Amino acid sequence: MSVRVRYAPSPTGLQHIGGIRTALFNYFFAKSSGGKFILRVEDTDRERYSDESLDDLYQTLEWLGIKWDEGPVVGGPYGPYIQSERFDIYKKYAEQLVAEGKAYYCYCTPERLEKLREEQTKNKSEYQGYDRHCANLTAEERAELERQGIKPVIRLKVPTEGKTTFHDVIMGDITRKNKDISPDPILLKSDGFPTYHLANVIDDHLMGITHIMRAQEWIPSGPLHVLLYQAFGWEVPTYCHLPMVMGKDGQKLSKRHGSTAVREFREKGYLPEAIINYVTLVGWSLDGSTEFLSKEQLEKCFKIENIHKNPGKFDYKKLDWFNSQYIRMADDERIASLMTPYLVKAGFISDPPSEQEEEKIKRLVKPAKERMKVISDIVDLSRFLFVDEPVTDENMYIAKGSDLENTKVALEKGGKILFDMLRSGEAEEKIEEALMNLANELGVKVNGVFQPIRVAITNSQVSLPLFDSIALLGLDVAEARLKRAVNMIKEK
């Protein structure tokens, strides 16, 4: 059996980490199994549908380098792959179930259904849901209701006795009593729109989907979908419900934890390979220890059996670490091109950059790669090169464990040591040793000397490496800034 899996998002919002994790698991399982990865757009929720969401879907997968074998744009033998273009198919199969006595037309008005819900709630009825009022209407009764102009929906006949079981690769056998399944759910709405359940099952069958890999939140829908497969007489695909993506607090990942939309991560300057690597490890592992896996490696080694049963925790700090490592491993030319738009937006360089500015960016890449967690960090890290905003708050110069008096000495004496040795061509290691000796003399930690010097030269406590910063500024400019800070601190 050739593996065929699908990613079937609803374009009602931006692609988020949970959804993309589902897409990656499906994609890598397909590739590692020599199968096909199908993209299907489930756009039947027209009230929440947006073109922006659809564009974001395509752009996100393109940015990640995830190419679908069949689906919108690329086509395929089982199209169309957009549900709003398949309404005739859903109508045909829904009516087939009615003809076979497995579904029926329901003429209940929204008002009646609302009143039913209110009564069930008020009476705290054990039975919640549709009361099958139209399940046994005669042909005459249906004709009269249609004569009144009432457009019916089509409901599935759910058995009231027995149980429905399906097997899940991760969770094992899942069983639910039929009486606990949503009673006779709507399959086809009165306007001809299918519900999620009908469209999903029909599409998965007609598109030859062999494995359904989706979030565990869809487990409650499993028994109903199995009943639909059985009603049509179709083989049930293999189910694999994926572990939830949680925040560090153990709650489902949401905006309260931080960014969840992939677009936001992209705008902040995360690299696609870092997103792919880290997100794939949220609920899956190769061997419990291997951390760095390229997209090409995952296409070969991904195994469905290695998906975890328990929820995966999304750690923003861990993602930052992954991204910083990928930035360091990336080609300098690529990082330069990625940094440029942020520098342009900040007003530091022109658009397009001049030859002089391009040269400055090239010189900036190597030291920046050592400090950036995300590409957008370059704005704060390099601000001192383009904007001179001296720090006037004395507390910014004072390192933890030091004080104002030691800071004054560190600036004046340490600054003289630094620039005298730089001008005489001493090696960086020798200069660092001399500054560490000064720290010992003052009885402070090394940062008690380096921090005030760094703040004086870069106007920030967080910056590029000190010697790189001086080289980028030039000795004269850097020394002038340090002397300015010395004079300012002396006045305190």
Catalytic residues: 255
Tell me the pairing of strands 245-246 and 312-313.
parallel
For residue 163, the cross-strand partners are 177
> What's the rounded Cα separation, in Å, for the pair 165 and 23?
26
298 to 1, 6, 25, 70: CA distances (angstroms):
22, 18, 10, 20
The H-or-E segment that residue 105 falls in is strand 103-106
Q: Is 354 helix (H, G, I), strand (E, B) or coil?
A: coil
Cα dihedral angle (225, 229, 235, 237), rounded to 10 degrees? -20
Q: Quick one: which of 226, 237, 103 has its CA closest to 162?
A: 226
Q: How far is CA 450 from CA 49, 462, 476, in A?
A: 55, 12, 19
- Contact (CB, 8 A) for 48 and 80: no
Q: What is residue 4's three-state secondary structure?
A: strand
36, 69 in Cβ contact below 8 A?
A: yes
Residues 6+ apart with CB under 8 A from 321: 373
Ranges of H-type helices in 370-427: 378-386, 404-423
For residue 145, give both structure tokens. 């209701």
Alpha carbon distance 6, 2 (integer Å):
13
Yes or no: say if 68 and 38 are a contact pair by the CB < 8 Å rule.
yes
* C-beta of residue 242 within 8 angstroms of C-beta of residue 212: no
Q: Which two tokens stand for residue 354?
A: 């001049």
The neighbouring-strand residues paired with 175 are 165
Burial 268-288 (b: 16+ CB within 10 A, else e): bbbbbbbbbbbbbbbbbbbee
CA-CA distance, 282 to 451, in Å (whole number)?
Answer: 38
Sign of the CA dihedral running 282, 286, 287, 293: negative
Residue 238's DSSP bridge partners are 211
C-alpha pair distances (Å), 256 with each of 95, 209, 249, 252, 287: 45, 35, 11, 10, 32
The single-letter code of the amino acid at 334 is R
Residue with tokens 């975890």: 308
